[in-house]
Structure 1
Amino acid sequence: QFHGDELIIRRGQTFQIEIELNRPFSAETDKMHLELKTGLLPKVSKGTHVIIPLVEHLEDERWEAKITEQNGTKIKLS
């Protein structure tokens, strides 16, 4: 478990994050993705800005997130 302002994530390393929203998340009506950025001018083309979609099933070798737990306004992503 890690608490702090900076998070270090390595490509291919699984991690979990818990997010608290202002209302319950509904996969049928809500859209969500994560964005990871590093450096002063992050760019998708340079791999310094990564957009992570929510998916139903995780695949190897891809940046993806899946809801593994949901309790009211809190969701846990892996």
Structure 2
Amino acid sequence: MVRRPGGLAAPEAAGAVRGRTSSLITQAEDAGLARVAEKDRRTLGKLDKIISALEGTTENQIVVGGQVEDVDAAS
């Protein structure tokens, strides 16, 4: 497990959030809450982009504005 600044283990933590969001979408659909489900689908799309960026990082990289950058370049 790789620790990132802030103490989060990424992308593992982001994957857990993705799973919870998917569950919320299912619950909203089952309850007939189409607008809530759609909002959560948009959130899920954003999470997928963040997870992809996190998976593409190495030890000395961070994600800034959805882009992977070297730590030195971000300062």
Q: With structure 2 as the length reference, what TM-score do the two structures score?
A: 0.25
Richer in strand (by share): 1
Which entry has the higher C-alpha Rg, 1 or 2?
Answer: 2
